[in-house]
Structure 1
Amino acid sequence: MPLAVRIALALLLALALLWVVVQSRARTQEARAEAAFPPEGRILEVNGHRVHALSMGSGPDIVLIHGASGNLRDMTLSLAPRLAKRYRVTLLDRPGLGYTDRINRSGATIRQQAELLSDAARQIGVENPIVLGHSYGGAVALAWAVHRPDHIAALVPLSSPAKPWDSDLSAYYKLLSHPVLGPLVIPFLTAFVQDERVERAVESIFEPDPVPPGYIAHIGAPLTLRRNSLRANALQRAQLLDQITALQPALDALDLPIELVHGTADTTVGLHIHAEPLARQLDSASLTRLPGTGHMPQHADEDAVVAAIDRAAGRAGLHPAD
């Protein structure tokens, strides 16, 4: 056998062994993540998909939808328990994240996600909710308002995309959403990303605000590092601009109470690009600007978020219990 052939075979064998090791380590990391951060709620069967839902409290209904790279734990550190004193709070993991199944392998649209979560909420008796969505979850909430107008009382988008934008998709999301490179790279991230890297990423999302005490230990970031979650999240993010653009013609018809909350220092979803134009477009939309606040107002200025929810409830004729 020629030397070149032997070298090529040895390289292929080494790559195959490396792939086996990476996949094995990725499975181990995923098992550790799920053992450390089990479901906080119950698993529903909705349209053939498993949906993770958590309910707490009593009063007018509010549904909370988390953003990209997250899960419903983002809202259970403080906001949801506080709201549960006066509202019935339902939290839902978005498809592919937390413990909700992916809808498909190509990237669930914001409409598909909204319809699945709406059906899940109805299944547990939530009929006329305020729907709050943070960041990407706000885009899902907006699609909910457009496509399920009979199943929403008011809309509260936090730091949410609402209008088309010009900036390019980041290299990270381009890579992870690529049809060939994404599935090759993702197992290495699952297997080898260190806690310190995750902590730095969380800090960058909060800037200029501090990360709340206990947040990193509570949020369950390793759940997002699972292979399916990384892929689902990347595909969703890569397709979001086209879906937001397609949603625009339907926005003029929205007449439900909308309480927008957005930080002036948000560099992830720009206030001037999204919340301000939507507030100018819709007579039913009111905008609360949070001076100096970044992308995570549900933590950085929880009082302002709760006040916006209370205003939405009042405008919708839903009066929270004292």
Structure 2
Amino acid sequence: MRQQAVVGPAGAEAYLRWAELPGEGEGVRVFLHGLGASATFDCSEAAAHPALRATGHRSLLVDLLGFGWSDRPADFGYTLEEHADTVAAVLDADGIRGAELVGHSMGGAVALALAARRPELVGALVLAEANLRPGGGAWSRKIAAWPEEEFATRGMAEFTAGESDPGYLATLLADPLAIHRSAVGLVRGISPGLGQVFAEYDGPKAFLVGELSRPYPEEGDAVEAGAHILTVPAAGHPMPVENPDGFARAVAEASVRATAAV
């Protein structure tokens, strides 16, 4: 486990942590997780898959602040832009440029925010059912509708009590404050919009859709943005944990296409 000190808006240091898998090539692949999740948990099996190891990329499985193994500072805003800046701090500290970003759900929105703010850090975008439209997703909208303090004190417990998927609850490794503020950030989006950033990104880009998610409304947006569409079989939205083999193979195909396009 590695860590990088990042500075929040109040000036206090917090540590963002990530796991790293070595690769034989020069490429770097960065996994960014969804709302409430953790890349070190959700993406570890996929990242170690032979199909991805064969690409030669070094893989960084980043737990965003407030999630997984990373610190959970109360003075952090947890907006998409702030999450993107902490990822940028990791890449800057390691001298990484042109990374392949693999962003699942909210992680895809963070990847788009990073591409908008620091385009030199991004060499390819692989988005797995990422937020492309304003207003967030169904889950983030429900969370954002709670007043922050109420969600932190009782809303989180009530919300998870109504969740029927034990597999999803197993991945819920986050601070309630971080979940709420991140959900608010997803609903607010960024300027320009996430879909516009994806459409205007001129590097290699792919959009992964779970077979069980279809019809998936934002798939059409990804097609219009010029992304290559890949299907993860036998999986819905939580595809990295539902079918890590299929997820890894789809990411590997996107990576091969990205390499060929360079």
Bin of the TM-score, shorter chain as denominator length: 0.7 to 0.9
For structure 1, which runs of at least 5 residues remain unmatched after alignment?
1-40, 207-215
> Residue 121 of structure 1: SS of its match in structure 2?
helix
Task: Check 1:302–1:243 CA distance in 2 against 1; reply closer, same or farther (3 A cut).
Answer: same
Please say if residues 160 and 275 of structure 1, whose CA atoms lie closer than 8 Å, have aligned partners that are also in contact.
Answer: no
1:182 aligned to which of 138, 148, 151: 151
The separation in 1 between residues aligned to 2:139 and 2:244, in whole angstroms, is 30
Q: Aligned pair 1:149/2:119, yes or no?
A: yes
Partner SS state of residue 316, structure 1: helix
CA distance in 2, matches of 1:107, 1:306: 32
CA–CA distance in 2 between the matches of 1:301 and 1:116?
A: 29
> What is aligned with 1:33?
none
Q: State the distance in 2 between where 1:167 and 1:57 align.
A: 34
Correspondence 1:1-322 to 2 at 5 A: 41-47=1-7, 48-58=13-23, 59=25, 60-82=27-49, 83-84=52-53, 86-102=56-72, 105=75, 107-164=77-134, 173-174=143-144, 177-185=146-154, 189=157, 200-203=164-167, 205=168, 216=170, 219=171, 221=172, 223-224=173-174, 229-243=175-189, 246-247=192-193, 248-266=195-213, 272-280=216-224, 282-283=225-226, 285-290=227-232, 293-317=235-259
Q: C-alpha displacement at 1:137, in angstroms? A: 0.9
- Using the alignment, how far apart are the partners of 2:97 and 2:247 within structure 1? 22
User: Contact 1:263 / 1:271 at 8 angstroms: preserved in 2?
Assistant: no
Structure whose residues are more often strand by fraction: 2
Structure 2 segments unaligned to the other structure (5+ residues): 8-12
Q: What's the Cα RMSD here?
A: 3.4
The separation in 1 between residues aligned to 2:260 and 2:58, in whole angstroms, is: 12
Q: For residues 241 and 171 of structure 1, do their structure 2 counterparts lie closer, same or farther at Cα, with a shift above 3 Å needed?
A: closer
CA deviation after TM superposition for structure 1 residue 294, in Å: 0.9
Larger radius of gyration: 1
TM-score normalised to structure 2 length: 0.79
1:135 Cα shift? 1.1
Q: Percent sequence identity over matched residues?
A: 22
SS in 2 for 1:317: helix
Q: Which amino acid aligns with 2:154?
A: V
Q: Structure 1 residues 318, 279: closer, same or farther in 2, change over 3 A?
A: same
What code does the residue aligned with 1:243 have?
G
Name the CA distance, whole Å, in 2 between partners of 1:264 and 1:131. 22
TM-aligned CA deviation for residue 104 of structure 1: 6.0
Would you tell me which structure has more helix in proportion to its own residues? 1
User: In 1, Cα distance between the equivalents of 2:234 and 2:249?
Assistant: 18
* Distance in 2 (alpha carbons) for counterparts of 1:318 and 1:122: 26
SS of structure 2 residue aligned to 1:255: coil
Q: Which residue of structure 1 lines up, in the alignment, with residue 10 of structure 2? A: none
